[in-house]
Amino acid sequence: MNPLLLLCFLVSFLVTFFLIPPWIATAHRINLVGKDMNKYDKPKIAEMGGLIVNAGFLSGTLLYVGITTFIFGKSSHLLYILATISTCLIIMIIGMIDDILGWKLGLKQWQKPLLTLPAALPMAAVNAGVSEMILPFFGSVDFGIFYPLLLVPMGIVGAANGFNMLAGYNGLEAGMGVIILSTLGFIAWKTEQGYVAMLAFCMVFALLAFLFYNWYPAKIFPGDTLTYSVGALIACVAILGNMEKYAVVLFLPYFADFVLPLRSRFKTEAFAKTNYDGSIDLPYDNIYDVTHFAIYILKKIKKDVYEKDVVWFILSLELMLSILVMRWCIL
């Protein structure tokens, strides 16, 4: 791998790692905090860590743009890189609005996809991706103008909102982002799509730095500023690298996390029932979330289940999907 790429990844990591502590202090000072619902005493934790993660991602990506433009004189993929950055920044701002005002505005579940729709405009405007796709039973299908105008917005909005659903446990969102983007980044690198791999791994390294503070017990929450932007970036990377079929497989837990709450008409929460000793139990008699499924399975294996057990269980499932996808790509 090009050493200059490694420099970009290092910058993404360091910017995120060193900016989070002052942000945590600032968030507490201005009361931008939320309750950690999977802890018995419900401690208040700094919110909107996605702002800093996006700062790290942006720093590494723009360094790459600067190096390729001014040192190597190349700008062949600049339009797609800037469109991806625009999508991530637009949806981050939408995430800020949701984090700060969403509960005050009383936003319903069906309204949030509409709120995130403008973030897809940059990718649609530059006609990113390949309109011809191979579908089961149909073979090769060219969607033409419907690909940028319909499928690209659907993919970005769906990925952003889907990634936002499987959340609420320390380290879960960032950990899932690391696995999914690392997988897509590896495939992009193997298929010689260096700029796509760069986009994926700049976010991976920013997320790794974030995990130092978000892992159990978390000192900062990701917020919609992170989940929306990481979900949108996953869609952008998949579109640019023509990896939609791999992204669909990697998103299977999110499809499950959409179907399960339908049983309660989205009136249930993913949070667990907390106990005094730090262990957790199922909050309902039925399973309404992938995290509930994890608790149910783990309870069959061990007596006491803890939040980090649930996170490791779900990350392990995602890692197995990652291995499956990489073998599929190689074969």
Strand partners, 205: none
pLDDT at 109: 65
| DSSP-assigned letters across all residues of 87-148 | HHHHHHHHHHHHHHHHHHHT--TTHHHHHHGGGGHHHHHTT-S-SEEEETTTEEEE-TTHII
For the segment 145-156, the average pLDDT, to the nearest whole number, is 93
**Residues near 57 by beta carbon (within 8 Å), at least 6 away in sequence:** 12, 16, 88, 202, 203, 206, 229, 233
Instruction: For residue 61, give the amino acid letter.
Output: T
For the segment 79-101, the average pLDDT, to the nearest whole number, is 92
Q: Which pLDDT tens digit goes with each residue over 196-228?
A: 999 999 999 999 999 999 999 999 999 999 999
For the segment 59-75, the average pLDDT, to the nearest whole number, is 89
Q: Coil, helix or strand for 270?
A: coil
Mean pLDDT of the chain: 92
pLDDT at 16 > cutoff 90: yes
Least confident of 113-117, 152-156, 303-307, 310-314: 113-117
pLDDT at 184 > cutoff 60: yes
pLDDT at 101: 75
pLDDT at 307 > cutoff 60: yes
Instruction: State which of 99-108, 109-118, 138-147, 301-310 shows the largest mean pLDDT.
Output: 301-310
pLDDT at 180: 98
Q: Which residue has the tokens 């390729």?
A: 68
Residue 315 to residues 291, 310, 319: CA-CA distances in angstroms? Answer: 11, 9, 6
Query: If pLDDT is split at 50, 70 and 90, which confidence band does 313 have?
Result: very high
Query: If pLDDT is split at 50, 70 and 90, which confidence band does 185 have?
Result: very high
Strand partners, 132: 142
Of the chain, the percentage scoring pLDDT greater than 70 comes to: 95
For the segment 57-66, the average pLDDT, to the nearest whole number, is 96
For residues 54 and 85, what is the distance between their CA atoms, to the nearest angstrom?
10
pLDDT at 110: 64
For residues 266 and 269, what is the distance between their CA atoms, to the nearest angstrom?
8
Q: Which pLDDT tens digit goes with each residue over 91-124?
A: 999 999 888 876 545 566 667 778 889 999 999 9
Dig out the tokens for 209 from the structure.
């730095």
Q: Which pLDDT tens digit goes with each residue over 275-294?
A: 999 999 999 999 999 999 99
